[in-house]
């Protein structure tokens, strides 16, 4: 999707972004980050991935439940990611501005759609509420990041096989019916241990000066 044509003017003193917000880390996903603000108050934060969208107004999962009477009269999609394109939608009568990695600042009035690329900044202004958008890198979930190497898997498989084999051998060697201890065997063993302990104590007492 090509960017909507509108007048451009260079923003004085603006620094050119190097696009470091999106790191090419293994297992990371690009996401469109949206932050809704009213002054310094954060109303909501969303990270929109491929196939996702973000709403504003009175809608489920809305990033900010604000009145939309002046901006089309109903909840609206303000961002979506589709087929690798990260798009911000400026509602009717709302204002928007972008700061590209080329250092240019652009102003628009909705309804209009803007494609956000790496290093770009986009802001939608709805009265006192602002929605700021940029691309970021989101790390994969723990289930995706934890990968067991093939060598470790083979080692675990071998250890499991050895364990099962050992259990089978123990079962084969063990007698079908365990022999019962002779009557009084446990008592005799306890008495022997008791006598040995008493003998050691007596010897220890004699050895004392």
What burial class does residue 57 get, using C-beta atoms within 10 Å of its C-beta: 0-12 exposed, 13-18 middle, 19+ buried? buried
Question: What does the pLDDT look like over 145-198, one tens digit per residue?
Answer: 445 566 666 777 777 777 777 777 777 776 666 666 566 666 776 767 667 656
| Calpha distance 31→45 (Å, rounded) | 12
Q: Is the pLDDT of residue 103 over 70?
A: yes
Q: Is the pLDDT of residue 141 over 70?
A: no
Question: What does the pLDDT look like over 149-164, one tens digit per residue?
Answer: 666 667 777 777 777 7
DSSP the chain: -PPPP--EEEPTTPPPP--TTS---TT-EEEEEEEEEETTEEEEEEEE-TT-EEEESSSTTBS-----TTTTSS-EEEEEEETTEEEEEEPTT-EEEEE-TTSEEEEEESSEEEE--TT-EEEEEETTEEEEEEEEEEPPPHHHH----HHHHHHHHHHHHHHHHHHHHHHHHS-SSPPPPPTTHHHHHHHHHHHHHHHHHHHHHHH--
Token match 């022999």: residue? 179
| Calpha distance 152→143 (Å, rounded) | 17
What count of other Cβ atoms lies within 10 Å of the Cβ of residue 137?
17
| Calpha distance 41→139 (Å, rounded) | 26
Q: Are 125 and 94 in contact (CB under 8 A)?
A: yes
pTM (predicted TM-score): 0.55
Q: Give residue 14's pLDDT band: very low, low, confident or very high (50, 70, 90).
A: very low
Structure tokens at 120: 């770009």
- Determine the average pLDDT of the residues in 121-143: 85
- Determine the average pLDDT of the residues in 22-37: 76
Q: Give residue 199's pLDDT band: very low, low, confident or very high (50, 70, 90).
A: low
Q: Is the pLDDT of residue 122 over 90?
A: yes
8-142 CATH choice from 3.40.1360, 3.30.1370, 3.30.70, 2.60.200: 2.60.200
- Determine the average pLDDT of the residues in 2-27: 41
Residue ranges of domains in the chain: 8-142, 148-207
């Amino acid at each position: 999707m090509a960017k909507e044509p509108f007048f451009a003017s260079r923003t004085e003193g603006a620094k050119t972004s190097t696009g470091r917000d999106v790191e090419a880390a293994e297992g990371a996903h690009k996401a469109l980050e949206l932050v809704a603000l009213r002054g310094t108050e954060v109303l909501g934060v969303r990270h929109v991935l491929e196939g996702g969208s973000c709403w504003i107004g009175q809608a489920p999962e809305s990033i900010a439940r604000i009145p939309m009477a002046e901006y089309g009269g109903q909840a609206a999609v303000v961002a979506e990611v589709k087929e690798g394109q990260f798009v911000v939608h400026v509602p009717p009568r709302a204002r928007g501005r972008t700061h590209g990695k080329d250092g240019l600042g652009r102003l628009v009035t909705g309804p209009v759609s803007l494609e956000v690329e790496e290093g770009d900044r986009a802001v939608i202004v709805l009265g006192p509420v602002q929605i700021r958008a940029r691309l970021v890198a989101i790390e994969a979930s723990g289930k995706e990041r934890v990968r067991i190497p093939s060598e470790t898997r083979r080692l675990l498989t071998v250890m499991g096989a050895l364990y099962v084999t050992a259990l089978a051998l123990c079962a084969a060697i063990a007698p079908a019916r365990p022999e019962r201890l002779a009557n009084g065997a446990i008592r005799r063993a306890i008495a022997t241990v008791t006598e040995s302990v008493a003998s050691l104590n007596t010897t220890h007492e004699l050895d004392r000066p």
